[in-house]
Every structure is written in C-alpha cells, then in structure tokens.
Chain A
Amino acid sequence: MRVELHEIPGLDDACQTVWKVRSLAIEGKDSVQAALVEWQKRYPNELKAIVKVMKLATQQQRVQNPKHVKKSSNPKHVDAYEMIARTGVCRLMFFYDEQNASIIICTNPFEKGGDQDAAFARCAALRDLYFQHKP
C-alpha cells in the first residue's frame, strides 16, 4: 500500500519550529486535503480556526489547551488526538510521529455531531497503517 505525507498548502515549514504538520495520503487519496478544500467553501471561519490550531501545534511540544486539542479518552486509540475549530463543527484527527522525525500527521476529518469515537478509531487504524507502510 502506497503511503505518502503531503504538506499543508500555504503553511511554510520555516514557521513549524517544533513539529512539521503533514496530511496522510494513501494510494494518492488524501482525506485531509479534501476536507480543507471543502471547509474553505462551507465553513471559511472554521478553516481559519483549524489553521490556527495547526500553527499552535507546530510550535509547542504539546498543546495544553483542551479547547484547541484533545486526546482520545478511549485507551484503545493510543495517542490519537483531534484539532478543534472552537465554536464550530470542524475537527481534524491526528497523531505524533516521533520515530524518525518530529511530524504531526493529520489522518482524517470529522464534523461535530457525528460519531467521534469512530473518528478516533479511524485515526488509530490509519496510524497503524502508516507505521506498517511508511517509507
């Protein structure tokens, strides 16, 4: 299975001092890029809020503010997190890859009102897939 990491369009690496943020693409399909494009049209203010959290996450060892980043409370999801657009519905699930580099990998989008636990489970499954197939 072909697994790649994509840069987030418009976010320069030079500003990402602690972590680099990337989106996960499998077989060329990138659900995070697709969601960001969709949110830009449907929820422009929430895209702004999510980008703010991405930037915060790249400059901190860990984001402490639970209004911006939350870790899954389900122990089965081991280290799956979500970035939150405050007062909105948009969320991005992610995990930290500390094995070879310091990378935050966004795996899948989620919109509030859906099944959050399943979205975290998907993030955890995609993380396992990434570690099995990463170059």
Chain B
Amino acid sequence: MIPEINTTEDILAYLDSIPTVSTEDLHELEKTIRSFDDNPAFQADYYKGLFVNSVLDGMAKHSLSQSEVSRRWGKTRQYLHRILDESAKVNFTIETMVELAMVVGKRFKLELTDALPTAVFVKMSTPRRLAVPLASAHSSVSSIVGYLSNDDQCLIQGVLPTPEVAASCSAADSNVLALAA
C-alpha cells in the first residue's frame, strides 16, 4: 500500500523513504545505459518499438481497426497482431515494413547514420594534456568543441575514425591531442 501525499508531512515522510544514491552508483548506471546503444539486440528491439508505434499512430489517425488493416494488406489478423506485439517470432523484413507503412497511410524511411566519433583531434596553441569529461566526449563533436573553447584557444581539425589513427596523429605532432571517447 502506497501512502497518499496530501500534506507537507506526507511529502516529508515520502522523501525520507527515498534511499540516497551514491555518485558511484550513478556513474555505473550511466555506463550501463550508454552500453545499450552498442547492443544490437537492444537497438533492434527499440527500432521495432518505434516502427510499431508509428503504425499504431497511422491506424489511430485514419481510424483503422486491425481487421481493416489486415484486410487491406492481404494478411491474416493473427500475423498483423504478432507484428504489433513486436513478437520475436516475426521477421520485420524491409518488404513487410514498407507494405504495412503504406497500408496505414505512412511512408517507410530508412537511414544509416555515422556512429559517434571514437576520437577527435585538436590543434592547440601549446602542447598540453587535457581531460575531457566522459559525458562530453560521448555526446558529440560540437559538445567537445564547446568544452574546449572555454578552456583554450584551439582549432578542431577533424574527426578521426579510430583511436589508432588518433594515436598515430598525436605521436606525429605534439600540438595535436587525440581525445578518445
């Protein structure tokens, strides 16, 4: 039974019941959640969810029932149900997704984007070591530029594809600092 929150006393009692979270715990949580993006099974499941949600959105907009969608699509209601259920037993092929999108008044769009940079290299006025917070390094090149511009006059020259390339650049030029993300 969850106590109700109606008075200041209720709120204070509720706040007292919340355990304190340590910085280490939060850091561990951040690492875990970031790791999901590198997990193909998680990514596939997420995109299935995104696709199904768009289909449901199309059905709602056009007042289409599952029976009507399956009739227009020429598939059984059971098959459609398994797709909408994000069942692991159904193959979400490109053909399936393109067809179903059209039936519910949408168009399928597929896009591959570059992975986040593994490193950036920076040319600075003087050679020096610089620590970039993990969160900034993961976010984007622009956030790293923003971070560095507060700290030093530096020129971002480009994004390197791998830590190995970054390491070879920084070894060749003492003014180039490779930041592994």
B-binding residues in A (CB < 8 A): 1, 8-14, 26-27, 29-31, 33-34, 36-38, 40, 44, 47-48, 51-53, 55-56, 59-60, 63-65, 67-68, 110, 114-115, 118-119, 121-122, 125-126, 129
CB contact under 8 A between A48 and B42, given known A34-B19, A56-B49, A121-B4? yes
Q: List 9 A-B contacts (CB under 8 A).
A: A9-B33, A10-B33, A10-B34, A30-B21, A38-B19, A40-B29, A110-B2, A126-B5, A129-B5
The answer to whether the Cβ of B138 comes within 8 Å of any Cβ in the partner chain is: yes
> Once bound together, how far apart are the Cα atoms of A47 and B84, in whole Å?
22
Kindly provide the distance from the CB of A7 to the nearest chain B CB, expressed in whole angstroms.
Answer: 9
> For this complex, into which size category does the number of interface residues on chain B fall?
35 or more
Please state if A1 and B11 are interface contacts (CB–CB under 8 Å): yes
Q: Which of the residues A29, A51, A119, A122 comes within 8 Å of B33, measured between beta carbons?
A: A51
Contact with A along B23-46 (1 / 0, CB 8 A): 001111111111010000010011
Q: Which of the residues A12, A37, A55 comes within 8 Å of B25, measured between beta carbons?
A: A37
> Once bound together, how far apart are the Cα atoms of A12 and B138, in whole Å?
9
Q: In the complex, which residues of chain B have a beta carbon less than 8 angstroms from the beta carbon of A8?
A: 33
Please state if B18 and A29 are interface contacts (CB–CB under 8 Å): yes
CB contact under 8 A between A40 and B32, given known A12-B138, A29-B18, A33-B26? yes
Top-8 shortest CB links A-B: A10-B33, A9-B30, A118-B2, A64-B56, A125-B5, A10-B30, A29-B18, A10-B34
Q: In the complex, which residues of chain A have a beta carbon less than 8 angstroms from the beta carbon of B19?
A: 34, 38
Q: In the complex, which residues of chain A have a beta carbon less than 8 angstroms from the beta carbon of B46?
A: 52, 55-56
Task: Given A37-B25, A37-B28, output 13 extra A-B contacts at Cβ < 8 Å.
Answer: A27-B15, A31-B18, A34-B18, A34-B19, A48-B36, A60-B50, A64-B57, A67-B85, A114-B2, A118-B2, A118-B4, A121-B2, A126-B5
The answer to whether the Cβ of B115 comes within 8 Å of any Cβ in the partner chain is: no
> Once bound together, how far apart are the Cα atoms of A29 and B28, in whole Å?
19
Q: In the complex, which residues of chain B have a beta carbon less than 8 angstroms from the beta carbon of A9?
A: 26-27, 29-30, 33
Contact with A along B63-96 (1 / 0, CB 8 A): 0000000000000000000001110000000000
The answer to whether the Cβ of B1 comes within 8 Å of any Cβ in the partner chain is: yes
Q: In the complex, which residues of chain B have a beta carbon less than 8 angstroms from the beta carbon of A26?
A: 11, 15
> Once bound together, how far apart are the Cα atoms of A30 and B31, in whole Å?
19
Kindly provide the distance from the CB of A51 to the nearest chain B CB, expressed in whole angstroms.
Answer: 6
Q: In the complex, which residues of chain A have a beta carbon less than 8 angstroms from the beta carbon of B18?
A: 29-31, 34
Q: In the complex, which residues of chain B have a beta carbon less than 8 angstroms from the beta carbon of A1?
A: 11
When C-beta atoms are compared, the residue in chain A nearest to B56 turns out to be A64
Most-contacted residue by chain A among B29, B52, B57 (CB, 10 A)? B29
> Once bound together, how far apart are the Cα atoms of A34 and B17, in whole Å?
11
Kindly provide the distance from the CB of A26 to the nearest chain B CB, expressed in whole angstroms.
Answer: 6
Q: In the complex, which residues of chain A have a beta carbon less than 8 angstroms from the beta carbon of B98?
A: none
Please state if B15 and A37 are interface contacts (CB–CB under 8 Å): no
The answer to whether the Cβ of B162 comes within 8 Å of any Cβ in the partner chain is: no
